[in-house]
Structure 1
Amino acid sequence: MQHTTQNSITYFSDSSLNGITVPERFTFPFYYEPHPLTQIAAAELQHYLETQTELDHNFGLTADQQGLVIGKMFGVLVVQDNNGKLGYLAAFSGKLAGTNNHPKFVPPVFDMLIENSFFLKEEEILNSINQQIKAIESDEHYSILKSNFEQFTAQSVLEMTAFKKQLKSNKENRKKHREAQQPVLSEQEYTHFEADLIKQSLSDKWELTVLSNRWKQLLEATQSEITLFENSIEALKKERKEKSAALQQQLFEQYAFLNQDGKEKSLQAIFSETVFGKPPAAAGECATPKLLQYAFLNGYKPIAMAEFWWGASPKSEIRKHRQFYPACTGKCKPILSHMLEGVPMDENPLLKNSGEGTTLTIVYEDDSLVVVNKPAELLSVPGIQIQDSVYTRLQAAFGNIEPLIIHRLDMSTSGLLVVAKTKEAHKHIQRQFLKRTVIKRYTALLSKVISGEEGEIKLPLRGDLDNRPSQLVCFEFGKKAHTRWKVIQRNETTTKVHFWPLTGRTHQLRMHAAHELGLNAPIVGDDLYGTASNRLHLHAAYLEFVHPRTKEILCFEAAEAF
């Protein structure tokens, strides 16, 4: 279809809008299904990215392309201009091909790479300081001094140890001489003999002092010369830190974000009101804030937004080529809260109790515990906004007995949960979970046909601080996460598997399914790491543990409903 582009806005053709209703409310940025208008815009932008030849950027999609592989989040914002005409704006996160300015895309909120900008000037000063530090650290005389100091230290230890050993031997010999001579010498002779031994002892101590002082003076003189170099390095590092902090603060003040009323708020002011206290790295460089800033500057009305990933998957987070994702919470949520103030917006679906009206089935119950089959979308425990949960429903059912939660399932996951009725049962079963003697088996439907029949996945996980509650694969700081899997059914486009989580990390099965180093096949309906559907197709199907009172092995199985 033929669209027209003016400045950074691309207008929709009339034919492309046939049958599409313009939304009355703006997209909720942190959980959404792309509107048809954003799907059209994203498809056109993706076609441009596939066919363009101007960008010297390696997205990791071409095997022989040179340069570091860097995938990117791209965003589209459907807007209405002053004449009521619909079009869309496009943006990318961070820099693209090393620059901020490209004809197809809106400019950044603040371009720190403009020629002669304060950022480049200050960066040049910082680079100069770095070069000075590097020059001192690689100075030949400095290197010789450090090497000499290490050698002198080692030599002094060896020589002092050997000399002290000799003095100890001398002392023992003197003691033997005393014991041998005292019975045979007269009192006057022994007095002279003892005086001579004392002189030997004093001579040994004096020689030890001389040797110790000689090494001490040599080491102190060498360290003194080294300290001159280190003081210069520390002074430069202090100057670099102060200039870097001042530059960062200046940048924070330059990033001033508009809302629909024309009210400006700096990055520093926005994040000073959050638990962070200050902006995280690269805040303000994401696609959606850039798009809204350009729209408000030009008097455009925001209609709908969407963001997608373009390029090879990163090694840590789950990002699939062409797939839509919500705006990040850590960097973007505080900024967008200001920018979208007063803009009518879709309801936050996360505040809706999707588990309302579902049935919590009791599979087994006695005086010690209860085993339930939790429906998908019901919380295990009350949330901040939603109270309805396994806990509150059992609390109502038990009357005077307090349900004691031992383990949890994600809200979107269905299946078997054991809940204690007594403190003794809670302690006993909890200990089984901690010792990993409880057997848990899940059934999942994966979004593609995978190879292999069974295996194990060991990918350490940690929380994504910039995008909670998402998780990251992190080999440096992540916690051990271990999953065993087995294929039980292959369909035309999906695979049903059994999962045995041998550890219990947050989103472990979802991450191990979706990550390219895992099965590289998100679970069907996974709205965080894959594509949303009617539900997350993950079910806790089997649970086995020892009864805390009878010591009987209890086994429960509940078939999945997919």
Structure 2
Amino acid sequence: MDNNTYFHTFKKDISGIELPARFTFPFCYEPHPLAVIAAKELQYYIENQEDWNHNFGLDKKSEGLAIGKMFGVLVVRNQHDELGYLAAVSGKLAGSNKHRDFVPPIFDMLEENSFFLNEEVHLNALNRKIEQLEKSDELTSIKQHLDLLKGNWDMSLDELKTKLRVQKKERKETRTLLRASLSDEDYELLMEDMRSQSLKDKQQLQRFQYDMHLALEAESTQLQQMLSAITALKEERKTRSGNLQKQLFEQYNFRNAKGEQKNVVAVFHDFDKTTPPAGSGECAAPKLLQYAYENELTPIALAEFWWGCSPASEIRRHKNYYPACRKKCEPILGYMLEGLAVDPNPMQQETTLGVELPQIYEDEDIIVINKPAEFLSVPGIYVKDSVYNRILQRYPDAGPIIIHRLDMSTSGLLIVAKNKQSHQFIQDQFIQHTIKKTYIALLDGVVEAASGLIDLPLRVDLDDRPRQMVCYTYGKPAQTKWEKIAIENNQTRVRFYPLTGRTHQLRMHAVHPNGLNTPIVGDDLYGTKANRLHLHAASITFIHPRFKQEMTFEIEPDF
């Protein structure tokens, strides 16, 4: 490697490898052989280098917080028609943005005396001051004393109000009791006396409340002054943070293959009229393309892989390849790839038009389908071929058709309705959780336990839809019973009994460290891509809408 550039020459002979016709579609791809070789050479470097020290969580003896990282390689051609590759890491590595083997960031926030670090000093000072004030003994003492004082006054106020209510009730009883025995003149004198007493009671209550206000005012004023000081500091922090973020955005100006340049704010606005999230442009892929464009290097192929332990909530497996994230990178990479011939998005390609849709049962109310893998239950934005459209073509007046769904990648039993009454009757069974379903999956590893219950709440990864993540704060409950069927060539065949029906529930419960810690074979989102996802809806039991009898359908997977 030339130490004056970030262009790496291949150590392995690549002369027999054909170049790709188009550049990698970064959000769904199979790494090109050249990108795989580049990634393996980078991985060898990471394992053996002594240039920096970062705890990836792979060595239990390492000190400090364990943080896995996403790395990327970009195969490029230089001005001399030589093939090589660039390497990058998402975010910073070992506390720095400067490493001789990785392309630099688009903007180095960690540069000595940069406006970012200088402003961080002020923001950190504000944070410390706010924290000190919020946790100060003086503030705690004032709050406690005011609460105690207010409690005592409130107690006395309640006692006074109770006393006045009793007196009012006694006056009313006296009026009623003496009305018949008093003359009109004497009764009027009594009423006058009672009105006078009522007025005195009201004045007593008003005086008490005024005294209470005076007693609490000094303490309340002191507390409010302290809280106002904290609020003012928080407003200053908010303003400074906003200004800093705006100044940061001004530094991120992305290039594309057409030689154009656009600021990150404009990129996101043109994409979906949103504001860039923090960290936009810090991922590996934008860094790689930016450096290539700035140095007249032609992008050929891209690949990104995870190195290290998985985060607690997301699923990232060591050395696995992953697509670029959606929330931060989709707008940026969409712009940066303009001018390049890019592979088509496979999620927008009609690939099932010639695929048969096997039917295993039909009557006047329902149809039971054995849905193939990679076949949609309902039409997508771009791909229209689906179970729904196939049934609608045969029965134009049927519907609602779809009662429940299977993930596109999952094969197996799917019930569809031919009329509204059947749809409602079976849908109610799903809502009441009376329908019994089992799935068979082949896991990419050996599971030692024989059975169990997995209870991991799930929610969508907002930064990378449709991936899911475990979240104990905002996740929806997700439970799966399972049992081992057999061990086959270092793979485990299991039967799943889902007690809930969350998106990607079985895939997440299989792969998560607190689940079975073993991905389903062919899971391109959470594991490693294969010929298909080895997950199959094998049986379903329900009450027939017309016959009112229990029906069970079973079909074995083709794996």
Is the pair's TM-score, using the shorter chain for normalization, greater than 0.5? Answer: yes
What runs of 5+ residues in structure 1 fail to find an aligned partner? none
Q: Is the 8 A contact 1:4 1:10 kept in 2?
A: yes
Partner residue of 2:320 out of 323, 334, 338: 323
1:296 positional shift: 1.0
1:401 positional shift: 3.4
Q: Is the 8 A contact 2:398 2:417 kept in 1?
A: no
Normalising by the residue count of structure 2, what TM-score does the alignment of the two structures yield?
0.94
Give the match for residue 292 of structure 2.
295
Give the match for residue 74 of structure 1.
71
1:7 positional shift: 2.2
Give the counterpart letter for 2:472 in structure 1.
F
Q: Is the 8 A contact 1:356 1:378 kept in 2?
A: no
Partner residue of 1:520 out of 509, 512, 517: 517
- Report matched runs for 1:80-159 at 5 Å: 80-159=77-156
1:74 positional shift: 0.6
Give the counterpart letter for 2:258 in structure 1.
D
> Percent identity between the aligned chains?
51
Give the match for residue 549 of structure 1.
546
Q: Is the 8 A contact 2:400 2:420 kept in 1?
A: no
1:351 positional shift: 2.3
The Cα offsets for residues 330-364 of structure 1, whole Å up to 9 and x where unpaired, read as 21111111111111122322222332322111111
Does residue 480 (structure 1) correspond to residue 515 (structure 2)? The answer is no
1:227 positional shift: 2.1
Partner residue of 2:409 out of 412, 418, 425: 412
- Report matched runs for 1:66-465 at 5 Å: 66-174=63-171, 200-275=197-272, 277-402=274-399, 404-465=401-462
Give the match for residue 9 of structure 1.
7
Give the counterpart letter for 1:7 in structure 2.
T
The Cα offsets for residues 289-343 of structure 1, whole Å up to 9 and x where unpaired, read as 0011111111111111111111111111110011111111221111111111111
CA separation of 1:185/1:400 partners in 2, compared to 1, >3 Å: closer, same or farther? closer
SS in 2 for 1:274: helix
Q: Name whichever of 497-506 and 217-226 sits farther off.
A: 217-226
SS in 2 for 1:541: strand
1:466 positional shift: 1.5
Q: Is the 8 A contact 1:364 1:370 kept in 2?
A: yes
Q: Is the 8 A contact 1:449 1:492 kept in 2?
A: no
1:266 positional shift: 1.0
Query: d(CA) in 1 for partners of 2:185 and 2:417?
Result: 92
Query: d(CA) in 1 for partners of 2:293 and 2:175?
Result: 100
Query: d(CA) in 2 for partners of 1:353 and 1:184?
Result: 100
Query: d(CA) in 1 for partners of 2:389 and 2:180?
Result: 95
Give the counterpart letter for 2:210 in structure 1.
N
Give the match for residue 486 of structure 2.
489
Give the counterpart letter for 1:156 in structure 2.
W
Query: d(CA) in 2 for partners of 1:325 and 1:511?
Result: 16
1:28 positional shift: 1.4
Give the counterpart letter for 1:285 in structure 2.
E
Q: Is the 8 A contact 1:441 1:500 kept in 2?
A: yes
1:229 positional shift: 2.1
Give the counterpart letter for 1:90 in structure 2.
A
1:201 positional shift: 4.4
Query: d(CA) in 2 for partners of 1:188 and 1:259?
Result: 101
CA separation of 1:190/1:352 partners in 2, compared to 1, >3 Å: closer, same or farther? closer
Query: d(CA) in 2 for partners of 1:186 and 1:423?
Result: 81
Give the counterpart letter for 1:10 in structure 2.
H
Query: d(CA) in 2 for partners of 1:386 and 1:138?
Result: 57
Q: Is the 8 A contact 1:355 1:376 kept in 2?
A: no
CA separation of 1:499/1:116 partners in 2, compared to 1, >3 Å: closer, same or farther? same
Aligned length: 559
1:154 positional shift: 1.0
Q: Is the 8 A contact 1:309 1:321 kept in 2?
A: yes
Normalising by the residue count of structure 1, what TM-score does the alignment of the two structures yield?
0.94
The Cα offsets for residues 242-276 of structure 1, whole Å up to 9 and x where unpaired, read as 22112111211210111123211111010012335
Give the counterpart letter for 1:488 in structure 2.
I
Q: Is the 8 A contact 1:355 1:375 kept in 2?
A: no
Does residue 540 (structure 1) correspond to residue 545 (structure 2)? The answer is no
Q: Name whichever of 341-350 and 491-500 sits farther off.
A: 341-350
> Cα RMSD (Å) of the superposition?
2.2
Q: Is the 8 A contact 1:373 1:416 kept in 2?
A: yes
SS in 2 for 1:424: helix
The Cα offsets for residues 206-250 of structure 1, whole Å up to 9 and x where unpaired, read as 332222111012223322222222222222222221221121112
The Cα offsets for residues 29-84 of structure 1, whole Å up to 9 and x where unpaired, read as 11112222222221122122222334232211111222112110011111111111
Query: d(CA) in 1 for partners of 2:53 and 2:267?
Result: 34
Query: d(CA) in 2 for partners of 1:59 and 1:276?
Result: 36
Query: d(CA) in 1 for partners of 2:541 and 2:525?
Result: 29
